A and B are shown apart, each in its own frame.
Chain A
Amino acid sequence: MAETTMDSTAAGLTTADGRPLKVALAAAQSRAKRRAFLLVLPLLLFIVITFALPIGQMLQRSLYHDGFSKASPALGAWFAANPAGTEPDEAAYAALASDLLLMKENRLAGEAGTRINYSMPGTRSLITSAARGADDLQPPYREALLAQDRKWGEPLLWVAMREAASPWTTDFYLSGIDMQRSADGGIERVAEVNRVYIWLYVRTFLLSAVITGICLLLAFPIAHMLATLPMAKANLLMILVLLPFWTSLLVRTTSWIVLLQGQGVINSLLVSMGVIDDSGRLALIYNQTGTIIVMVHILLPFMVLPLYSVMRVIPPSYARAARSLGATSWTTFRRIYLPQTLPGIGAGVLLVFILAVGYYITPALVGGADGQLFSNQIQFHMTKSNWSQAAALAAMLLAGVLLLYWLYDRLIGIDKLKLG
């Protein structure tokens, strides 16, 4: 009996119906895999169709705008035949004139003008009015168009039209990083007063970092207290963290408006206590301060919960051991306790930072002028129907968020995410 077991190799083993064990096991495993995957498949399809696909489709808009290109086949052909930097000749102006006529016939001038206007502000009316009078244009077209408006001779306009003549473009990303095309076809930074996006992007991350930092400072002591108190008391105090977590975001924003506004509770309290004059009421809301205060309050539970779940399992005996070996309380905290809380700190900081970077509602309601974040700029372009620009900015923000998300998955693991 023992000998037969010794002799038979793994390949030699067979199941009851005579199949090699290896094959049967592989089949069973792949069946189990398929079953598990089939359970996930409906949701995966749902998320892909209702969530991932729309985002992908929107991102495509950041590189694609056919407003001008579909109205300008003749110019497109001329640009294709002549390399960048060619002085527009009579043939180019003739192509322009025929396209303007096409725009008039198909009522595409508005769309085409809007597209050029994105690259070169102030040119929408140039194109729409030229298209209106396209019937009366006579050769030589160069003179006729220049007589209408000197702008038609500007090299910058021709650079903009060359770029817009193809529907695929990086123009919206260029303007997203405060760049534009120069007259000679190169790339340059926009005028200093118009540089908004890079600074806003940096400021969004800075402000998120400040908010995350404050959250950590506030969350650490209370998470520690919750983790070290006896269970019954800790559960009661936990309600104070969980109730804000479960309360509507708009309700919390509303209450902060009530508390912080000029005629609100805090200012009235300070005035009645004589700390400030009636005329010197503090501007606590509709500015950056307001955004920070309210966002800290909203995101604080997301910091407390991961910290708490890590601190709860730190054995108190370690700290006692350190003390008995002669460490001061500060050394004990710094060398023994703090390092053990690092996983919780990492999880909380990353989660709060990711959520803060993409915040929209709170800055929109209480941010005023200087408390706006990058999301609000996306919404601004949406309301102005400049969808490609909104999409390009969205792609920039998404890139930052996904990078952080990837970092979170690497360092902490998505499956460690817990709520409540």
Chain B
Amino acid sequence: MALPTYADPLERAWYYTYIVICTLIFIFLIAPILVIIPLSFNAEPYFTFTSKMLSFDPEGYSLRWYDELVVKGMQSTGATGAAWWSDMWQNSVWVKAAKNSVIIGFWATILSTVLGTLAALGLSRPEMPWRRLIMAVLISPMIVPIIIVATGMFFFYSNPCSVIGVTCGTEEQPWRLTSTYTGVILAHAALGIPFVIITVTATLSGFDQSLIRAAASLGANPRTTFFKVIMPLILPGVISGALFAFVTSFDEVVAVLLIAGPEQQTIPRQMWNGIREAISPAILAVATILVVISIALLTTIEVLRRRSDAMRGVTGR
């Protein structure tokens, strides 16, 4: 937006103020995320820039917090070579948390993406009955406060059979989903579904339904139509929905707090511990790694969006 030629001095002044205000707001948005990156390389256990860091003295920087991350929880710190690697893979607290996060995130994403994409296909058909109501129900996991969702799931998963009045397992030790991977995965899948629905229905809104009829008239059966016509066109939307679902799971802590047992600790859960107890710069090292991951995800999403727009013939943005 450029300043029009007929602007008077007051408007000119206001225009430059507006630029300054916008710049400040952008700084507010991005600075907190960027500031932790250099701080995670701090050689001292402080949360502020030391004078050595400000003068770019190499001594002010170190990788000690990253080292601490890897080493935490390892049994034999003196080991070298293969023994060290296997120790790290088995025992390092953060490596374990990362593995859990990836496992839970992966299965939750698969579940919510498959179910969500099917449902989005149904929802975008013009003849879908009770569309508005069903849509409202499917989006609600994003709207209902997470503490309510997690509390409800905690009770339900600690004895799922009681709802239909049956006792599974024994009376003292009923079959339960709390403290299991399945429980956390189901919870995270439910939380990720709104994002899949929103992104895939958005992609489908630009989808030309007559292509389906064209495929059918050329002799394709519904299966072929789905895999050869529909899927390639909506794939960018599906992938970005899947990424949203994965990030939702990867970032989720409240359901994990209530449902997961000690075996299912994820990265956010460990961070939660780290922030609540004495906060150490090692948290900043984790945060930096996560920021790098989110930059990678954002880039992927952006590339996909452009591809999707190009496919649908949207010009410009």
Q: Which A residues contact B (CB, under 8 angstroms)? A: 29, 32-33, 35-40, 42-44, 46-48, 50-59, 61, 218, 221-222, 224-225, 228-229, 231, 234-235, 237, 239-244, 246-259, 261, 263-265, 268, 297, 300-301, 312, 320, 323, 329, 354-355, 357-361, 365, 375, 378-379, 382, 387, 390-391, 394, 397-398, 401-402, 405, 409, 413-415, 417-420
Contact = CB atoms under 8 A, between A and B. Distances in A.
A42 B145 contact: no
Given A254-B287, A394-B147, 5 more contacts: A50-B187, A58-B152, A228-B1, A255-B32, A382-B154
A50 B33 contact: no
Given A360-B146, A390-B151, A252 B32 contact: yes
Given A29-B127, A40-B119, A420 B301 contact: yes
Nearest to B250: A248
Contacts of A29: 127
B22 A225 contact: yes
B141 interface: yes
Interface residues of B, number: 98
Nearest to A391: B151
Q: Which of A53, A218, A354, A361 has the most CB of B within 10 A?
A: A361
A254 B284 contact: yes
B98 interface: no
Contacts of B88: none
Interface in B163-204: 163, 186-187, 189-190, 193, 195, 198-199, 201-202
Interface string B153-167: 111110000010000
Contact of A248 (B135, B143, B163, B290): B290
Nearest to A409: B136
Contact of A240 (B6, B26, B244, B275): B26
Nearest to A261: B47
A323 B6 contact: yes
B47 A248 contact: no
A326 to B, nearest CB: 12
A33 B128 contact: yes
Contacts of A382: 151, 154, 258
B82 interface: no
B235 interface: no
Contacts of B187: 50
28 contacts: A44-B134, A46-B115, A48-B137, A54-B157, A221-B18, A244-B30, A244-B33, A246-B247, A248-B250, A250-B272, A253-B275, A258-B36, A268-B48, A268-B49, A297-B28, A312-B317, A358-B147, A361-B254, A365-B276, A375-B145, A375-B148, A378-B148, A397-B148, A401-B144, A414-B132, A415-B132, A415-B135, A420-B240
Given A43-B138, A225-B22, A254-B287, A259 B144 contact: no
A46 B190 contact: yes
Nearest to A48: B137
A263 B111 CA distance: 44
Given A46-B115, A243-B33, A398 B144 contact: yes
B156 A250 contact: no
A47 B197 CA distance: 12
Given A37-B128, A53-B163, A297-B29, A254 B118 contact: no
